[in-house]
Structure 1
Amino acid sequence: MTGPGEPDGDAGLDSSDVIRAITELMLGEAPHLKRADVAELSGVDPDVARQRWRALGFPEADEEDAAFTQADVEALRLTQELVELGIIEPDTEQPFIRTIGRSFARLADWQVRAFLGSMGADSQEEVAAGDLAELEKVVPLGEKVQAYVWRRHLVNAASRLLLTDADVDTSPMVVGFADIVGYTSRSRKMTRQELTDMVERFEEVTGGVITDHHGRVVKTIGDEVLFVVDEPKDAAALALELLEKHQDDEEFPEVRIGLAHGNVLNHMGDVFGPVVNVASRLTSVARPGSIVVDRDMAEHLRDDDELRLKRMRRTSVKGYEHLEPWSLKRPRGKDDPGD
């Protein structure tokens, strides 16, 4: 039996019903606090509270809108504790919060679409009250899995940084880009599902290979993945394996790869500096199904008998004149016809 004002379990809900029900489920109560209330209850300056809210990527609420809950108050308190403990420094606070907001926004969008798809619902109008009850069971499970993955990544990140004695944000490493060959032309001929399958396969395989060779995926940017690896030899093995995946797996697209070695600035999980730009430019000049590395990377690999390097013609690309690329391949076999 449903309570007063509650829709029947099999009835469809309109948009306002869905949003109200999801808000109460996710935040524990209906919004009833204004911006000034949240600032006062949390003990955080109103302007600071507003800046943090916007940095998370949420739309700004009007002064008189009762758009907040006690969960928002608690989140501000916890953030302030991190600031006071020195974990979040004043000059990095906004980038830190923006990074969290962007990461979870993308994750939440995917999760909601996946949940609606599992119910066969493509819109709010197709969501029934019974589906929201199912969501109530799913959310705690998702929270536990996300907390586990986060803790596991903390262990990996701490191990990587401590074992390399990294005490500064700038450190030498290999930056790589793997780019799907002919993505634009291929996508025009594919159905939406075929394109989704190809991109998912690309992300799945590249992520696995990069991790297997002690690397880290920094981010995926449409049809390419940006990754970093500490050791040049690991990066070379990684790139060669990725290149050969297309031969063994019809669902994995052909790629081209650019690698560059040097000092890189690590900031909020992303990487910056000339080395990143060089790796990107090398990818753009690589032929389909090939690997191109910079001179520094080639110097680190020159004496490795398990690899074959060949200097290519110098080239000029945006921001870099006379860039010196090298092709990277496996050693020539008996049946290899040569370059």
Structure 2
Amino acid sequence: MKIWKRLTGGGRKLSITTKFALAFIALLLLIGIVSMTGFVSLRQMRNETKAVLLTSIEVQRRGFEMDAALRNARRVEIDFFLRWPSINFSSTNLNEFRDKHRQEIEKVIDISSQLQELLAQVQGGIFKRQSNPDLVEYVEIVEQYSRSFQETVGLVSNLGIDNVGVLEQLEQNLTLLRNRLELAEAQEFLGLVNQMQSYEKEYLSTREPARMELLTKTAQQLREQINTSAKFNETERRQALRYLDAYQSVAKDIVRLDKEIQDKIRNFDQQAQALADKLIDLADAEADRARRTINDTSETATVLLVAAVLVALIAAVIIARQFASALTTLDRETAKSEHLLLNVLPEPIAHRLKREERTIADHFNEVTVLFADIVGFTELASHTSPIELVEILNVIFSEFDQLVEEHHLEKIKTIGDAYMVVGGLPMPMLNHTEAIADMALDMQRVIEQFCQETGKSFSIRIGIHTGPVIAGIIGIKKFIYDLWGDTVNIASRMESHGLPGSIQVTEDTYKRLKHRYHFEDRGPIQVKGKGQMNCYLLTGRKQNSPTIEYIEL
């Protein structure tokens, strides 16, 4: 007991390493006990069972080889079923499938002959009365299946038109129909054409009849609109309907031939189970003979194995408890580490860092950077306790963090009472400029609401610029995900040169937002390090501007 206490730390809390080490030692002991017991048992049975086991294994191996060859033939058949709409109907292409399929069938027949010879040599005549006729029947079924596949290939060859695949015919007819609609300037019908093509692709990938029914309904809807549209003259209408008829005709041919092929496959699927049962019966019969011999000499081994199992169960309990404790601790610590890492870095960057990428630096052609600074905060800090000051910042910045999540943006950092956020990275986003604009307007709303609720008196000054940046990780300790480039400097200047309570943007940002938002032209101002720059003040969203859906690229 004292030894066990020393091993387990005398009641002290064990580290994860120690728990895994103890579990590993117990596992080694368990393996050693079971291995020794199995070795003794096998020595007792080896001499009497070696020959019969070899024969049983050989019978099973030949059976598995036959089954593997038949499965390969089925793969050729399935490959043909999946690809037949897109292959050319030349004799070379079709014969290639026939030859591959026939080669696998011949392997089945050759292995069957070898298996018959092996079973004929088995003493005792167990298989002479039953197995040989079963194998003959097995081969007959396989030959019938081979002929059925050849007939299936023949069905496909009958559908060929000028050696062009059916999918090519579909595409040609659909292209002619689309061109006819575009020439007639009937752009509103192209959506139905695209929908038909989508249902066609879904059918070819799933073979679900419901997809083709939807295609037929869409085609009927398109037909009715063509018949009633005033954009077509009579000749154009006949052409469009002819192309639509040709497209539907080929689609119906695909469905019809798919059904015929599926019927043939379904018929053989029923026979395939009987074939598998015959192989299993052959292997089971020989295995039974081996089992009877083995059972006669296994009583002693059974006693030894039962004793080993009891010891193994005791060891397994110890191992399970150690592993469970270690894994629970590991999961808990891993979850904490993951949570901390995701609070520091964007999720895609965190995953790359965990993959041990040494250098993480990405160039983004266009993002939108926002800097915000609380006006009047310095004065507030002069007559506010540090704890209350931090609490105020925490409330405001927590609201800002929530806005970052709502607008699908990325917070970069806070410095004192300054807040930096960017749109369009690390995952590119189509409308990052609008997202930043909405974020800025919401930040003003948050500050106004906070002042109303607390009686404080300060405002926020925001600067925004759109352009290219470099984003990455610097350092190996206390690292951060940061941005570099002139775009960052300009956005910071927009904030520092802005007006209290305003949102100042550059001309680049203004051009991207002017159709959706209201602005005041502030005119050119002198910007440190950049000279004269035209600046604008964002005042709100236009009433008729639709709500932005933030779309990642």
TM-score by length of 2: 0.32
Distance change in 2, residues 1:154/1:256 (3 Å): closer
Instruction: Name 1:183's counterpart in structure 2.
Output: 377
Q: Does residue 282 of the first structure (1) align with residue 483 of the second (2)? A: no
Distance apart, 1:272 and its partner CA: 0.8
Q: Does residue 210 of the first structure (1) align with residue 404 of the second (2)? A: yes
Q: Deviations over 1:25-68 (max 9, x none)?
A: 99999xxxxxxxxxxxxxxxxxxxxxxxxxxxxxxxxxxxxxxx
Q: Deviations over 1:159-218 (max 9, x none)?
A: 9xxxxxxx9523310001011111211100101221111121122111111221111111
Whether the aligned pair in 1 keeps the contact of 2:471 and 2:484 (CA below 8 Å) is: yes
Q: Percent identity?
A: 24
Instruction: Name 2:391's counterpart in structure 1.
Output: 197
Distance apart, 1:234 and its partner CA: 0.6
Greater share of residues in helix: 2
Q: Does residue 220 of the first structure (1) align with residue 411 of the second (2)? A: no
* Residue of structure 2 aligned with 1:316, choices 526, 530, 547: 526
Distance, in Å, in 2 between the alignment partners of 1:294 and 1:241 is 19
Distance change in 2, residues 1:179/1:188 (3 Å): same
The aligned runs of 1:10-159 (5 Å cut-off) are 144-148=335-339, 150=341, 155=347
Whether the aligned pair in 1 keeps the contact of 2:414 and 2:420 (CA below 8 Å) is: yes
* Residue of structure 2 aligned with 1:235, choices 414, 417, 436: 436
Distance, in Å, in 2 between the alignment partners of 1:244 and 1:151 is 28
Instruction: Name 2:514's counterpart in structure 1.
Output: 302
Distance, in Å, in 1 between the alignment partners of 2:350 and 2:441 is 28
Aligned length: 194
Instruction: Name 1:329's counterpart in structure 2.
Output: 539
Distance, in Å, in 1 between the alignment partners of 2:462 and 2:508 is 16
Distance change in 2, residues 1:180/1:143 (3 Å): farther
Instruction: Name 1:6's counterpart in structure 2.
Output: none
Distance, in Å, in 1 between the alignment partners of 2:531 and 2:16 is 54
Distance apart, 1:139 and its partner CA: 11
Q: Does residue 265 of the first structure (1) align with residue 265 of the second (2)? A: no
Distance, in Å, in 1 between the alignment partners of 2:462 and 2:411 is 14
Larger Rg: 2
Instruction: Name 1:254's counterpart in structure 2.
Output: 459
Distance apart, 1:246 and its partner CA: 1.8
Distance change in 2, residues 1:177/1:151 (3 Å): closer
Distance, in Å, in 2 between the alignment partners of 1:291 and 1:27 is 53
Distance change in 2, residues 1:142/1:193 (3 Å): farther
Distance change in 2, residues 1:327/1:27 (3 Å): farther
Distance, in Å, in 1 between the alignment partners of 2:396 and 2:535 is 26
SS in 2 for 1:312: strand
| 1:294 counterpart letter in structure 2 | T
SS in 2 for 1:243: helix
Distance, in Å, in 2 between the alignment partners of 1:217 and 1:225 is 8
| 2:448 counterpart letter in structure 1 | Q
| 2:466 counterpart letter in structure 1 | H
Instruction: Name 1:9's counterpart in structure 2.
Output: none
Distance, in Å, in 1 between the alignment partners of 2:14 and 2:509 is 52
Distance, in Å, in 2 between the alignment partners of 1:313 and 1:291 is 14
Distance, in Å, in 1 between the alignment partners of 2:497 and 2:470 is 24
Distance, in Å, in 2 between the alignment partners of 1:184 and 1:154 is 31
Distance change in 2, residues 1:310/1:204 (3 Å): same
Distance change in 2, residues 1:179/1:27 (3 Å): farther
SS in 2 for 1:315: strand
Distance, in Å, in 1 between the alignment partners of 2:376 and 2:468 is 31
SS in 2 for 1:287: coil
| 2:383 counterpart letter in structure 1 | K
SS in 2 for 1:288: coil
Distance change in 2, residues 1:237/1:25 (3 Å): farther
Distance apart, 1:155 and its partner CA: 4.3
| 1:270 counterpart letter in structure 2 | D
Distance, in Å, in 1 between the alignment partners of 2:364 and 2:348 is 19
Distance apart, 1:325 and its partner CA: 1.0
Distance, in Å, in 2 between the alignment partners of 1:324 and 1:299 is 12
SS in 2 for 1:169: strand
SS in 2 for 1:324: strand
Q: Deviations over 1:248-288 (max 9, x none)?
A: 22358621110000111112121111111111111012222
Distance, in Å, in 2 between the alignment partners of 1:26 and 1:324 is 62
Distance change in 2, residues 1:329/1:195 (3 Å): same
Q: CA RMSD in A?
A: 3.4
| 1:285 counterpart letter in structure 2 | H
